[in-house]
Structure 1
Amino acid sequence: MDNLSNISVVKELLSRHGFTFSKALGQNFLVNPTVCPKIAEMGNAKPGFGIIEIGTGIGVLTNELCKRADKVVAIEIDDRLKPVLEETLSEYDNFKLIISDVLKVDLHELIRQEFEGLDVAVCANLPYYITSPIIMSLLESRLPIKSVTVMVQKEAGTRLLAKVGSRDMGAVTVAVNYFSEPRLLFNVSRGSFMPSPNVDSCVIRFDIRESTPAGVTDEQFFFKTVRAAFSQRRKTLSNSVSSAMGIDKSVVASAIEASSLSPSCRPEALSMEQLILFCENLRKLL
């Protein structure tokens, strides 16, 4: 069904199925006809690839993915969209819908069952409130995937695309750069959606690294410490980690000194190598 960017068609379709938008799920459906083909083309939807789509809406992006990839498995949390998608995607025999919360799906098992012999990529249009948890889950799970292409609100995109050691970085910045190489593909105006949100969006692709940065001996401890470091952004590294992890300040201070860092340094000023060194020194002192 190729006319899913026509607002009149979309309204008639949703009315016929008795569908109303859910603010709780952050639903804003794409109606700009130029956006989804670009996401599909730049998100590795092509022969030899299987695509996991997270959040289908009415199937505008799904339609473009199915045209290009060998197989598409979409995970959608809103079961009210099932009859809509059965209509809009009825022509494709390479499509499978899973009604579930993606954070509760065993994606390793899904990939094993659904994409044998194929390279795999993820494409998603994520609501703001769940952006970071889903991206972190996809990356930390070490899935056998080539890339993750996501549409996010610009505010979230700024943090995801921030350089480690820059003012805009946060814990999610460290994770993103640890597991992948992120890059901005293009921006999307708020008028591209129905209903129109109050902010603009952007599309980002994370190309998964073949190997992660050296020096981390305990990833769970590393990311726990990084989250603690950025939990109170106005505080120094010492105060944030001590407060969030319940570690005596003298121990944290010793780890900072052993890492040749300033006692008053802030986490956003540190490079990936400095963060790794600090976390390793802290771990050895505990």
Structure 2
Amino acid sequence: MSDYKDIATPSRTKEILKKYGFSFKKSLGQNFLTEPNILRNIAAAAELTSDDRIIEVGPGIGALTEHLARSNGEVLAFEIDQRLIEVLDDTLSIYDNVTVVNEDVLKADVKTIANDVFTTEGGVKVVANLPYYITTPIMMHLLMSGLDVESMVVMMQKEVADRITAVPGTKAYGSLSIAVQYYMNAELAFIVPKTAFVPQPNVDSAIIKLTKRTEPIVDVVDEDFFFKVAKSAFTQRRKTLWNNLISYFGKDDETKAWLEKSLEMSQIDPKRRGETLSIQEFGELSNQLMANKNK
């Protein structure tokens, strides 16, 4: 296959789009990469092997998909745009290890589909150029799908990548940082300039690599409640933790007493801002709130 022309060259992309009379839908956040080296680097960052079960979201015309297929692992790609199914049948015709499903991944039962498609058992690797406008919902949907997601190597808006990889005390740190880092180690792999896409987006992109932790970063009594507590602390970033908590949970005397006791037992100053708390501190606070709930 070494003599096979990469899909992601500007000339071949143009040729494919022209052949099918394809026009980009802004509503689907369609931006196609036209730089094969970047795609090779994404696949390399994912450290793919022939034993891997790989999930891609938004394959477009197959530019990244072909690099995933070349690993000889099994590839399952979710494409929402019906118009691209015929294109992908053509561009990926030489690969028998790719299955394209014409579904909205956010509405799909990803675990059931994956179990039907993949012939082997085990965890999955998610490798994708995610649509900017729904990056976070897709990532969280896959993490909460019940699938054993071993790793994610995903491209997204640089600003979102900064938020996911952020540490406490920084402007970018927030509930998204906590939600992802609870399950995964997060690192920025490399930056992708906007000039590498057709059509060209307004901002630069970033590739981040997320690797599943052997166990969550902190031991919490109730995961859903932990995420609610973390989210509530960032409702209004300029407000103190205390003001955000009472806005979320309630301002009656009983609720205030419950919050005060839990903060004291967590050894957290209520005057601090949410962005200064570590994930461990949020874990401790949510556990104390649960323990003191009906006392």
Same fold (TM over 0.5): yes
Flag the 1:21–1:56 CA change in 2: closer, same or farther, 3 A: same
Find 1:232's aligned residue among 236, 247, 255: 236
Q: TM-score, normalised by structure 1?
A: 0.94
**Residue of 113, 117, 137 corresponding to 2:116:** 113
- Who is 1:83 aligned against? 86
Runs (4+) off by over 3 Å: 164-167, 245-250
SS at match of 2:282: helix
| Contact map agreement 2:182 2:218 (CA 8 A) in 1 | no
Does 2:170 align with 1:178?
Answer: no
- 2:126 pairs with one of 105, 122, 128: 122
Please give the alpha-carbon distance, in whole angstroms, between the structure 2 residues aligned to 1:97 and 1:79. 11
Contact kept? 1:225, 1:279, Cα under 8 Å: yes
Does residue 8 in structure 1 map to residue 29 in structure 2? no
Give 1:93 shift.
0.6
Task: Out of 117-126 and 195-204, give the one that drifted further.
Answer: 117-126
Pair 1:119–1:276, CA change in 2 (3 A): closer
Q: Give unpaired runs (5+ residues) of structure 1.
A: none
C-alpha distance in 1, partners of 2:146/2:263? 30
- Which residue number corresponds to residue 20 of structure 1? 23
Q: Which moved more, 1:46-55 or 1:11-20?
A: 11-20
**1:124 partner SS:** strand
SS in 2 for 1:187: strand
Q: Sequence identity, in percent?
A: 41
| AA aligned opposite 2:286 | C
1-structure distance, mates of 2:218, 2:26: 42
In the alignment, residue 261 of structure 1 is paired with which amino acid? I
- Of residues 52, 62, 70, the one that matches 2:55 is 52
Q: Deviations over 1:164-209 (max 9, x none)?
A: 4543211110011110101111111111100111111110110011
Letter in 1 for 2:234: F
Q: Aligned ranges for residues 146-185 of structure 1 at < 5 Å? A: 146-185=150-189
Q: 1:188 aligns with which of 192, 208, 212?
A: 192
Partner Cα distance (1:270, 1:180) in 2: 18
Number of the residue aligned with 2:76: 73
Aligned equivalent of 1:218, options 216, 222, 235: 222
Range moving further from structure 2, 7-16 or 244-253? 244-253
Give the secondary structure class of the aligned counterpart of 2:28. coil
Aligned counterparts of 1:246 and 1:78: Cα–Cα separation in 2: 44
Following superposition, the deviation at residue 118 of structure 1 comes to 4.9
Deviation at 1:279, TM superposition (A): 0.9
Cα distance in 2 for partners of 1:245, 1:272 equals 20
In structure 2, the gaps of 5 or more residues are: none
1:118-146 Cα distance to aligned partner (Å, 9 max, x none):
54201111122111111222223352121
Relative distance call for 1:69 and 1:250 in structure 2 (3 A) is farther
Deviations 1:60-114 (A, max 9, x none): 0001000113210100111111111111101111110011111112222233223
Distance 2:13 2:284 in 1: 53
1:231 shift after superposition = 2.1
Deviates more, 1:86-95 or 1:160-169: 160-169
- Give the CA RMSD over aligned residues: 1.7
Measure the CA separation in 2 of the matches of 1:285 and 1:145. Answer: 34
Residue aligning to 2:96 = 93
Asked if residue 141 in structure 1 is aligned to residue 178 in structure 2, the reply is: no
